[in-house]
Chains A and B, each alone.
Chain A
Amino acid sequence: MIDRRLFRSEGKLSPAQLEWPSVREAIKEAMQEEMRRDPGVFQMGEDIAWASPFGVTAGLVKEFGPERIRDTPCSEVAVLGAAIGSALGGMRAIMELQFGDFMSVAIDQLTHQAAMLRYLTGGQVRVPIVIRLPCGGWQGAGSQHSQSMYSWFAHAPGIKVVLPATAMDAKGLMKSAIRDDNPVLFFEHKALYRTRWPVTDEYKDKDFLIPFGKSAVRREGKDITVVATLVMVHYALEAASRLEEEKISLEVVDPRTLVPLDKESILGSVRKTGRLLVVDEAYLPCGIQSEIIALVSENNYRDLKAAPRRLGNPGVPVPFEPSLEEVVLPTTEKIVNAARAMMRS
């Protein structure tokens, strides 16, 4: 269901497989369409022109040239600053971080400069930038290449945080991100890049935009609301199928953006189910899981039939060794067990 061998060749795909776009292709198509539409959009990143690390930008340099598909040295601070400054100057930069974890190298430019400049100048400037962050575990990529760091940035004011779980979402959210006038972090799960998803006709529309702050209910259910993002959406759906025969019904809500957060849909779902389980690869301490539980506890306390629960990395570096990744990160099995325990309590 998810791809745990991203560093290996994908092999030959059957025509049936190729019928659906992958998340990687969806992101690329969105960027390509927006670059054709708006000459102010350009991209920067390490190796993006000629050796696209995960293939997202592969081939774009042939269409747009090296000025707009701009290879950079390993200088995350200067390149992010270049994105911000060019945005002040009227451009729209998309910056790829080879691994999203590298955001930590340039955190000042993000949280203090990009995110605060508009506020500090009393609204005089706009900072329309998109930072693409390949994230998440399941590749044996090691602790500094496997994190899901969105809680860090959802915590800071002034940054939009986007988490696409399907090809449809990847395209519609990326197009919205590029047209947004604020700094946007676009987290791309490495285990989803090559996964393929059915799309509707809308997908081909040049103005197909998915608005931020609108969650997707991936599956309706009545017993437990499971809030999940990225890979965990798919694990939660798998858990929901498994629990069907035990007559436990999961409702899977994918917020799709953490900032802004579609609070109403989460609250509405818990109002119906009376139970909340939040599943994410993010570290648990002060993580996004806690934020969603706080939201429900503050607003829906009387609706709760059981104590809310959260699954996530309990607070160790994501291990390099693949079987230990499964120990630390949430899995379908862990979601199933947590759901059962919540129904017993």
Chain B
Amino acid sequence: MLDKDLKLAMMRKMLLIRHLEKAWGDAYLNGEIEGIPPALSTGQEAVSVGACMALEDGDFVFTTHRGQAPQVAMGLDPKKILAELYCRRTGYNKGKSYHVTDFSRGVIGMGGIVAGQVPVAGGMALAHKLKGTDRVSLCFFGDGASNEGALHETANLAAIWSLPLILLCENNGYCISLPVSREINTAHISDRAVGYGMAGEWVDGNDPIAVYETVSRAVKTARSGNGPSFIEAITARLSGHLVHDPQRYRPRDEIEAAWEQCPIKGFGNRLKNEGLITAEGIAKMEAEVLGEVEAAVRFAKESPPPEPEEAFEDLWA
């Protein structure tokens, strides 16, 4: 049984992800930021929160282009996340990338190339193994990335070398406009684990506790030297692929039904039913989170953009 504090922390992180991303999306829609539109994790918060809270210091996560949820879940500073997304030099990557990274906290932002992060995550697991530590590497990727060769090669390599790697597939139902039913011919993406010779299972990705428990088992396996795991977290993308995407390819009633399954609403109700928090308690928590996001937005807006010469910095070590 998970304790109350952990569950409430999960709730808070899910709210923080939702509101931080909403602020980011709004900044784009209001014309405050330019460039490639935000990729929101709306509806997928439980996956990142459940997975990242199962990790410890020294573990690494590798994120996708839809990467803000794990950043927040790993405890990164919302100010520096939003500053990065506003392309400010005070951001984590000095305004140089959409893919927020904080190496010191074990968060490597990758995702400009679908599945490009997966082999690198495998390499981090190899480093852990070669150095004789019990740390793990957890790689997020989507249902779309599950069809890339990079994933298959890495899964096989991790299995034969028994690497402490957790392959966490976030199946959000769509690869941009392509529904999973048209991109994959198996009942579950996790069924592929058999072919790699590793443990595989699927989990309800809208339930942070189920994700936490499943990932915790995989972490335990990896830490004890018993190799990689493949987890498919089934969830739903509630926003468009990018924030400006009107999702004309998607039936309206399907989107409405998905909102009914919103993980934040569902988890909030559960916590209330369990008597762990009241409706007022959630409202108070949400107000605090909104305050934190507002402060982060202010910090981002007030931060300076990079200086011209910074375009030429940080290429070489």
B101 adjacent to A158 (CB under 8 Å): no
Alpha-carbon separation in the docked complex, A80 to B120 (Å): 8
Interface residue? A124 (CB, 8 A): yes
Alpha-carbon separation in the docked complex, A326 to B225 (Å): 54
A128 adjacent to B317 (CB under 8 Å): yes
Interface residue? A297 (CB, 8 A): no
Interface size class of B (residues with CB under 8 A): 35 or more
Alpha-carbon separation in the docked complex, A228 to B317 (Å): 28
A91 adjacent to B131 (CB under 8 Å): yes
Closest Cβ–Cβ distance, residue B257 to chain A (whole Å): 37
Q: Smallest CB-CB separation from B149: which chain A residue?
A: A77
Alpha-carbon separation in the docked complex, A72 to B117 (Å): 19
The residues of B that contact A119 with a CB separation of less than 8 Å are 96, 314-315
B157 adjacent to A82 (CB under 8 Å): yes
Alpha-carbon separation in the docked complex, A182 to B316 (Å): 7
Interface residue? B112 (CB, 8 A): yes
B130 adjacent to A78 (CB under 8 Å): no
Chain-A contact segment, one of B19-27, B103-111, B170-178, B261-269: B103-111
The residues of B that contact A125 with a CB separation of less than 8 Å are 101, 103, 108
Interface residue? B122 (CB, 8 A): yes
The residues of A that contact B313 with a CB separation of less than 8 Å are 123
Contact with A along B111-142 (1 / 0, CB 8 A): 01100111111111111101100000100000
Interface residue? B32 (CB, 8 A): no
A81 adjacent to B315 (CB under 8 Å): no
Most buried by A among B101, B130, B160: B130
Interface residue? B63 (CB, 8 A): no
B123 adjacent to A86 (CB under 8 Å): yes
Alpha-carbon separation in the docked complex, A120 to B131 (Å): 26
Contact A87:B314 (CB < 8 A) given known A67-B130, A81-B118:
no
The residues of A that contact B116 with a CB separation of less than 8 Å are 108-109, 112-113
Contact with A along B72-116 (1 / 0, CB 8 A): 000000000000000000011111110101110000111011001
The residues of A that contact B210 with a CB separation of less than 8 Å are none
The residues of A that contact B101 with a CB separation of less than 8 Å are 120-122, 124-125
Interface residue? A181 (CB, 8 A): yes
Interface residue? A193 (CB, 8 A): no
B130 adjacent to A81 (CB under 8 Å): no
Q: Smallest CB-CB separation from B99: which chain A residue?
A: A120
B316 adjacent to A158 (CB under 8 Å): yes
The residues of A that contact B44 with a CB separation of less than 8 Å are none
The residues of B that contact A158 with a CB separation of less than 8 Å are 315-316
The residues of A that contact B126 with a CB separation of less than 8 Å are 82, 85-86, 89, 91
A181 adjacent to B131 (CB under 8 Å): no
The residues of B that contact A123 with a CB separation of less than 8 Å are 94, 313-314
Interface residue? A90 (CB, 8 A): yes
The residues of B that contact A285 with a CB separation of less than 8 Å are none
- Number of A interface residues, CB 8 Å? 41
B315 adjacent to A78 (CB under 8 Å): no
The residues of A that contact B92 with a CB separation of less than 8 Å are 121-122, 124
Contact A81:B314 (CB < 8 A) given known A86-B130, A119-B96, A123-B94:
no
Closest Cβ–Cβ distance, residue A54 to chain B (whole Å): 24
Q: Smallest CB-CB separation from B110: which chain A residue?
A: A113
Interface residue? A304 (CB, 8 A): no
Interface residue? A79 (CB, 8 A): yes
The residues of B that contact A275 with a CB separation of less than 8 Å are none
The residue from A73, A86, A87, A126 contacting B156, defined by CB atoms under 8 A apart: A73
Closest Cβ–Cβ distance, residue A169 to chain B (whole Å): 22
The residues of B that contact A42 with a CB separation of less than 8 Å are 130
Contact A81:B103 (CB < 8 A) given known A112-B113, A118-B314:
no
Contact A75:B157 (CB < 8 A) given known A120-B93, A122-B94, A128-B317:
yes
Closest Cβ–Cβ distance, residue B259 to chain A (whole Å): 34
The residues of A that contact B117 with a CB separation of less than 8 Å are 113
Most buried by B among A80, A81, A118, A124: A81
Alpha-carbon separation in the docked complex, A343 to B109 (Å): 56
The residue from A89, A122, A127 contacting B124, defined by CB atoms under 8 A apart: A89
**In chain A, residues 75-114, which have Cβ atoms closer than 8 Å to a Cβ of chain B?**
75, 77-91, 93, 108-109, 112-113
Most buried by A among B92, B94, B113, B119: B119
A122 adjacent to B93 (CB under 8 Å): yes
Contact A84:B317 (CB < 8 A) given known A67-B130, A73-B157, A120-B99:
no
Binding site for A on B (CB under 8 A): 60, 91-97, 99, 101-103, 108-110, 112-113, 116-128, 130-131, 137, 149-150, 153-154, 156-157, 160, 313-317
The 7 closest A-B pairs by CB, nearest first: A81-B119, A85-B123, A89-B127, A122-B94, A78-B153, A181-B317, A123-B314
**6 A–B contacts from the bound complex (CB under 8 Å):** A77-B154, A82-B119, A82-B126, A86-B127, A113-B119, A120-B99
- 9 A-B pairs besides A75-B156, A82-B126, A122-B94 with CB distance below 8 A are A77-B150, A81-B120, A84-B120, A85-B124, A89-B131, A112-B112, A118-B316, A121-B314, A123-B314
